[in-house]
Amino acid sequence: MTTDSGLVGRAGLQFYGKMCASISHDIKNVLAVINENAGLVEDLCFAAERGKPLDPLRLKRAAADVKAQIRRGDEIISGMNRFAHSVDSDSVQVNLLEIIDLLAAISVRFAAMRGLTLQIDRSESGATVTTSPFLLLNLLWLCLEQAMEASGPDRKVALAAERISGGVCLRFRGLEGLKAAPLGGLSAEPAASLCCALSAEVRADAQTGEILVQLAGGRG
């Protein structure tokens, strides 16, 4: 099998666009809540000008809500920034736990739309591999899309990274639906070209309910 670089480029752009659109939606939601809190303060001032006493507790709650939304917005933008920098280098040492953290951060809305939660297993934090972070994220996103389709009744997808002999492995666990649904998407394009470009192998194990992504040359 060979890498179709044009196809990988197009798929990458689509992936980037999809994630940016989702992130912008999240930012709009944050702005909407801040806007309503500002509006509420205006409403309270308007009422105070007409003789109704200001309620300091309500003002404090509005300020706390704005701060909470700023924290939420800051988390979203930090994830967006890390995602944007994933295209900086085609070959760099990446920590796999950081990669799955980032994948979860940019995918959380897609999971929520399906009524799913993403859980990260942090038991192994030191596994690294030298690769293209953006292409790896793109491949992992394609796997996650399939994993979300195959999630079990507890509506959770667990993500884990670990060292294996000769490389590293990323796992999507809790996929009870794998027994019923074949994973056609992961053997087709653009996943096939991404696997080739990353020297990665993707396989599904219906018995254990896992999708596994193996990369050669990892370090612990």
| Of 5-13, 28-36, 86-94, 168-176: span binding other proteins (CB under 8 A) | 28-36
Which of 13, 14, 18, 32 contacts other proteins by CB under 8 A? 32
In the bound complex, what is the minimum distance in angstroms from residue 62's beta carbon to other proteins?
A: 8
For 121-198, where are the alpha helices, taking DSSP H only?
Answer: 133-149, 191-198
Give the length of the chain: 220
- Examine residue 50 and tell whether it contacts other proteins (CB under 8 A): no
Rounded CA separation 136/96 (Å) = 10
Q: Give whichever of 31 and 92 is closer to other proteins, judged by the CB atom.
A: 31
Range 95-134, binding other proteins (CB under 8 A): 112-115
- Examine residue 37 and tell whether it contacts other proteins (CB under 8 A): yes
Rounded CA separation 65/59 (Å) = 10
SS (H, E, C) 70-123: HHHHHHHHHHHHHHHHCCCCCCEEEEHHHHHHHHHHHHHHHHHHCCCEEEEECC
What does the binding site for other proteins look like in residue numbers (CB under 8 A)? Answer: 21, 24-25, 28-29, 31-37, 39-40, 43, 47, 65, 68-69, 112-115
